[in-house]
Amino acid sequence: MKKRGLALIMAGAVALSSAGCQSGTGSRETVDKGGETKTESTASAGEATTAAISSEKVKLTICSPDNTFGLSTDPELQQSVIDMLKENTGVELEAIIPPISSYNEKLETMMAGGDVPDIFAISQATTRLPNYVAREQVMPLDSLIKSSVKLSEIDQDYYNALAIDGAVYDIPYYYPRVKGLFLRKDIMEQYGIELSNTPTTEEFITEMGKLKGTGIIPFSFPKWIDNFQFFMNSFGAYAGIYKNADGVYVDGMQEPQMKEALNYLKELYDTGVMDQEFITTENNTMREYVYTGKAAADIDYVMNYSNYILQSELAGKATDVQPIYMLKGPDGKGGGLNESIQTAWCISSECKNPEAAIRVIEALVTDPEIHAAFYNTGVEGKHYNIEDGIAVPTDKAANSGYSIKYNYLTDSFIKDFTTLKFQPDEKTQKVLRIQRDMIEMAMELKGDKQMIPSGISSLYDETSASITNTWKEVVSQIVLSSTSIDEGLKTYKNFWNSVDGDTMLKELNGH
C-alpha cells in the first residue's frame, strides 16, 4: 500500500515537472530593433500561428496614484479603466495604483529596489525629476515625442519647463498649476469688503480685517508652508535657492527682501487675518471652511474655481467666489503661486518597449475619451451611466466617494472634448467657461518658479531637501511667533554655514 502511494506521488511529480517544462520552453520573448516585443515559438510549427497573433502583445507596468484610473479607489472600477486603456492602445498593462498619500514613498522604494515601472507618473517634478535623471532611471523622450504627431502639437514651452540640459524627460498632461486666493462674494458683500483681483498687500490686510470678531475666519490657510510663496512674491522674495535677475544663483532666505516678506506674513497672522490654527489645517478642511462659510477666503488652485461653486451649493451655502491672482507689494511686485508643471509622465530608462510606452502616454494625454476616463470620469456603464446626455454616477462608484468632475475641460492640452457622449449641464458649462478665463489670467500673472538641475553641485544635490525643510521650519516658527525674525534668520544662517552653503552657491555659479 505504501509502495503504491509512493508510486502515485512520483507519477504526479513527473507529470507536473513535464508540464512545467512545456510551459517554460514553448515560447520566448525577444525585443527587435524597433523595440517591439515578439513572442517566438520554439516548440513546433503548429504553434507558429499563435506566436504571430501574440507578436503585438506587449506587457508594460504603469504606475500612477489612486486619484487617477477613473477617480475611484474601487479595484473593480480601476480595472475597467485599465481594460479601456489596453483596448485602445493594444498594449498589455499591469497597473500599480498606490494611495496618493504614499505614492512618492512607494515609487521611491520601488525605484531604489530596482523595480522602476515602465511608465510612471511623477509628482513634485521640479524636485524629483532631476534626481531621476542624475540616477539615469528615466529615458530622454525628445525623439519619441517627435515621432508622435499628437504629442508634438503640445507647446514646446511646457516640455521645456522641466527640461534638463536641453533634454526632455517627461510628458506633462496639464497646464502649469497656479494658485491664487478665493474669496466668498456673499461674505464680501455682507461685510463691505472691497478688493480687486489684484489688490495691494495693505488693502488685503485692511479689508480682511473687517471680519475680525465676526466669528468668520478671514483667511483660511493650509499647513503646507510652500504656499507662503504667494505672499513672498509680492516682495520679490523667493524661498530657496534661485537664479536672480543677474543670472546668479543666490539663497532667497538671505536676501534683504525676505525680511519684508516675513514681516508681512507675521502681520497676517498676528492681526488675526490668517487662521490661527493653520498649522494643523489640511487642504480639504481649508476648502470646506470656505464651502460652508466658516471662512471667507483661502488659497487654492485657480482651476478649482468650479469646485467652490458646486460644493458651496451642496453645503447649503451657495455663493460665487472672487479670485485674487496676486497681491501687489510696496514696489508693485507680485504674482500667483506658480507650481509650474509638477505632475508628468516618465518612461523608465530600462523600458524594453518605449514605442509602446509612448503610445500609452499619448493616449492618456491627447485622446479625449481616454484622458477624461483616466483622470476624471471613468468608464461608461461602470463609473457612470448617461441619462439625457448627462453622466450620472453608478451606485457602486458613488459608494466609493466618486463624483463626476469636469476639470479636464479646462486643464488639459486637449482642445476639443465634443466627441464625448456626454457633456456637463448648462450651469456647469457656464462655470467652466469662467474657470478657463481665470486660468488664462492666472497664467499671465503667475510668479516665478525655478528648477535647479542635478549634477551641477554635489553639495546642493545632497542638501537641497534639508535646505527646503529648514526654511519651512524657520518660516513657520517666525509666523507663529515662536521666534523673532532676526533669531529665525540667524538659526537659518547657522544651518546654512553647517552645510557649507556658500561653497554650494559657488559650485552652482560655476566658480
Binding site for other proteins (CB under 8 A): 65-68, 71-79, 94-103, 105-106, 109-110, 112-115, 121, 123-124, 174, 281-285, 287-289, 291-292, 294, 301, 304, 307, 311, 314-316, 342-343, 375, 395-396, 398-403, 405, 407
Smaller CB separation from other proteins, 198 or 410: 410
Length of the chain: 511
Smaller CB separation from other proteins, 110 or 134: 110
- Rounded CA-CA distance 213/2 in Å is 90
CB of 278 to other proteins, least distance (A): 12
CB of 198 to other proteins, least distance (A): 25
The residue type of 8 is L
CB of 414 to other proteins, least distance (A): 15
CB of 289 to other proteins, least distance (A): 6
CB of 287 to other proteins, least distance (A): 8
Could you please report the per-residue DSSP string of 137-186? -B---HHHHHH-HHHHTS-HHHHHTT-BTTB---EE-SPPPEEEEEEEHH
Question: Residue 106, exposed/middle/buried by CB under 10 A (0-12, 13-18, 19+)?
Answer: middle
Which single residue is written with the C-alpha cell 497656479? 178
Smaller CB separation from other proteins, 408 or 422: 408
Smaller CB separation from other proteins, 103 or 249: 103
CB of 134 to other proteins, least distance (A): 18
CB of 472 to other proteins, least distance (A): 15
| Helix, strand, coil percent values for the chain (each to nearest 5) | 50, 15, 35
Among 161, 61, 58, 170, residue whose Cα is nearest residue 106: 61
Residues 73 and 383 sit within 8 Å (Cβ to Cβ): no
CB of 206 to other proteins, least distance (A): 26
3-state secondary structure 93-124: EEEECCCHHHHHHHHHHHHHCCCCCCEEEECC
Smaller CB separation from other proteins, 366 or 407: 407
Smaller CB separation from other proteins, 190 or 285: 285
- Rounded CA-CA distance 410/389 in Å is 20
Smaller CB separation from other proteins, 235 or 374: 374
Smaller CB separation from other proteins, 403 or 503: 403
CB of 377 to other proteins, least distance (A): 12
Instruction: Please report which helix (H) or strand (E) contains residue 323, including its range.
Output: strand 321-324
Smaller CB separation from other proteins, 34 or 114: 114
Dihedral sign (CA 418, 421, 424, 425): positive
- Rounded CA-CA distance 264/262 in Å is 5
CB of 108 to other proteins, least distance (A): 9
Smaller CB separation from other proteins, 378 or 501: 378
Instruction: Please report which helix (H) or strand (E) contains residue 37, including its range.
Output: strand 37-41
Three-state secondary-structure class, residue 28: strand
Beta bridge partners of 297: 183
Smaller CB separation from other proteins, 223 or 243: 223
Give the β-pairing of 241-243 and 92-96.
Answer: unpaired
Could you please report the per-residue DSSP string of 288-321? HHHHTTSBSEEEEEGGGHHHHHHHHHHTT----E
Three-state secondary-structure class, residue 215: coil
Report the phi/psi class of residue 90: left, alpha or beta, with left for phi > 0 and alpha for psi in -120 to 50: left
- Rounded CA-CA distance 27/423 in Å is 47
Residues 102 and 381 sit within 8 Å (Cβ to Cβ): no
CB of 177 to other proteins, least distance (A): 9
